Structure 1
């Protein structure tokens, strides 16, 4: 493994001499580090990969949709069809979320419940 590290260092130094690292996006700016303290350790790498690919786990998408529907319901002054339709959609999303969590064995996990509460609070503030 030491030879691979040495080879990588040599290539980096050569690229630096050639100026290949000049004018890169973000040059001279601080790194944007992600706070993943609320994410269970065993999920961090998979969430990071999915985030970099522009994907969200289905449970996070469902939670975001539930938060949006709850906000729409709270703002809805129409006592008629629109409110019922939003209520139905919210119920469907919540049932799907519960089923998904049950299938993954996360419905009784205290750590996941705490993580879920942190996600809900974050979605409510956005």
Structure 2
């Protein structure tokens, strides 16, 4: 189907991209065939849009960056911090322990950047781990 045969009025196709014309045509055909009836979740509210607070023109970019891992998810960061803390508690290798402490420091800085507030680790726990790490004199 070309733009001339399109069910979209000609005055609209002048400013619509070809992909929009094709999408509109496919949606119209699906509606006519009843493909949008009895869909899963029909009549239920949409899930919360975490980008709703952003201006509409940057929402797509935000979602793409978040999906690609360039924007941190606070819940995922919190899980990773807990995982690294648990790992530190049981590590015997000093160099690996030091590397995980550096990772923990980076994770807490990222969490502080995302949440806008300081992250407080259990001071007693952190002191115990730091005390166990010996710094070599190389």
| Fold match (TM-score > 0.5) | no
Instruction: Look at both structures and tell me which one has the larger radius of gyration over its CA atoms.
Output: 2
**TM band (smaller chain):** 0.3 to 0.5
TM-score (ref. length: structure 2)? 0.40
TM-score (ref. length: structure 1)? 0.43
Which protein has the bigger helix share? 1
